[in-house]
Structure 1
Amino acid sequence: MPLAKERQTPMRLPDRESHPVAGATKIQAGSLVVLDAGLAKPGHTATGLVSLGRAERTVDNTNGAAGEKRVEILRKRTFLFSNLEADPVALADVGKPCFVVDDETVAKTDGTGTRSPAGRVADVDPSGVWVEF
């Protein structure tokens, strides 16, 4: 039915998302966040994870049930993460995917099928790896 009067249409910004946090989980502000079975968790080594982006604020759901709290994610940006010394991303990897090790570290490879993709390598410098989500 057409609008009969003005309305405030709900909106989502394309670079921000909110996801339910897994139970017994704390996500630190600035961490790489992944979806694991539909619930947000800090980045960790596992297969089948979906990388979301960076947590905007710390969310402590350590005493809560799954989905009791939500975490705001900033995406469609490039963020700096640590480079795993044992499997380093190199400048030659710009434009290629890198892989989640933990909530602050990425690696060049999938660790023989044990890691999920983090995002696209945008740059590598002495500070770490710039990852585009």
Structure 2
Amino acid sequence: MSALTADRDTPRRDGRDYGFPVAAGVVCHAGAIACLDASGHATPGASATGLTAVGRFVEHVAGGAEPGAVSVLVETGVFRYVAAEAIDRTAIGADGYIVDDQTVALSDGGGTRSRAGRIVDVEPLGVWIRIGV
């Protein structure tokens, strides 16, 4: 492909909502941390390596018997989740790690957790974390 020599009508997305094929046999609960597994299928957040956090599930979807049989809507942004441990405001700007589909921690659990995103605020009810691709 060569450089443009004229204007181009480039398709765009708003960069906030995405549809992803769902991994086989998983249940995606609305509001849960949404991840992609190593094959690119949506799966709930869990203490595991190799997951890529992409946002939160917008809807409840049960995966079919085969990977990709159904799709789920995922929203990127800043979301409040439960803190697995005491996290104070000094953690703002640090990475948070996935404990389960609604819980984040400051540590990677000795290499057993995937990155959730960047901590942007901390309050008594939980940790606000920026999650997205």
| TM-score interval, smaller chain | 0.7 to 0.9
User: Which of 104, 113, 116 matches 1:115?
Assistant: 113
Give unmatched runs, 5+ long, in structure 1. 1-8
User: Which of 106, 126, 131 matches 2:104?
Assistant: 106
Q: 1:64-120: per-residue Cα shift (whole Å, max 9, x none)?
A: 311011111110x210000003xx332111011100000000001000110011000
Count of residues paired in the alignment: 121
d(CA) in 2 for partners of 1:18, 1:94: 29
Percentage identity across aligned positions? Answer: 40
Letter in 1 for 2:107: T
Q: RMSD in angstroms over aligned alpha carbons?
A: 1.4
What's 2:68 paired with?
A: 67
The 5 A counterparts of 1:73-84 are 73-75=74-76, 77-84=77-84
Runs of 4+ in 1 over 2 A off after TM superposition: 9-13
Deviation at 1:11, TM superposition (A): 5.0
d(CA) in 2 for partners of 1:120, 1:23: 29
What's 1:35 paired with?
A: 36
What's 1:97 paired with?
A: 95
TM-score norm. by structure 1 comes to: 0.86
Deviation at 1:48, TM superposition (A): 1.5
Give unmatched runs, 5+ long, in structure 2. 1-9
